[in-house]
């Protein structure tokens, strides 16, 4: 299990299971937020506590970024609607976890800016981009 908390502590998430990889992405949003994402579906392994505000780039955006209204940390994103199976995609920001809990998680590198495809893993893990 891994837990994350925003800076002020009012928004918290819990990932009730092992996190196999963390996605680092260069898209216009992720590179600004500096987030590292761990994905699941709802209902699933992720639970959220605390009130958030949501930023959607457009009214028809497929996802919204949830942040703490007090301290501004990006805590997670959530799909704005279900898929064909009725599930909602969600991803928590592993930057909100303690370093020792997530440091050894391998990075998946996603080129969200241009090709929208995964790039080959290069062996880095979260601790390599933490400092």
Nearer to Zn ion by Cβ, of 63 and 73: the residue is 73
**Applying CB under 5 A, which part among 16-24, 41-49, 68-76, 121-129 lies near Zn ion?**
68-76
Output the smallest distance, CB 50 to Zn ion, in A: 8
Among 1, 8, 16, 119, binds Zn ion (CB under 5 A): 8
Distances (CA, A) of 60 to 55, 56, 57, 63: 12, 8, 8, 9
**Site of tokens 């699933």:** 44
Minimum distance from residue 69 beta carbon to Zn ion (Å)? 8
Q: Tell me: does residue 12 bind Zn ion (CB under 5 A).
A: no
Strand order in the sheet with 63-67: 53-55, 63-67, 74-79, 88-93, 37-42, 22-25, 107-111, 117-119
CA distance 44 to 118: 24
Build a one-symbol-per-residue string for 71-110: x at contacts with Zn ion by CB under 5 A, - elsewhere.
x---------------------------------------
Point out which residues bind Zn ion (CB under 5 A). 6, 8, 10, 68, 70-71
């Amino acid at each position: 299990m891994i837990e994350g908390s925003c800076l002020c502590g009012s928004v918290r998430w819990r990932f009730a299971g092992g996190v196999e990889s963390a996605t680092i992405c260069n898209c216009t949003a992720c590179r600004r937020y500096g987030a590292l994402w761990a994905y699941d579906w709802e209902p699933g392994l992720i639970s959220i506590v605390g009130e958030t505000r949501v930023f959607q780039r457009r009214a028809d955006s497929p996802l919204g970024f949830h942040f703490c209204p007090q301290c501004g940390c990006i805590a997670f994103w959530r799909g704005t609607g279900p898929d064909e199976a009725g599930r909602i995609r969600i991803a928590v920001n592993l930057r909100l976890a303690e370093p020792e809990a997530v440091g050894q998680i391998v990075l998946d590198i996603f080129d969200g800016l241009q090709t929208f495809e995964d790039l080959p893993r290069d062996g880095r893990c979260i601790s390599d981009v933490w400092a």
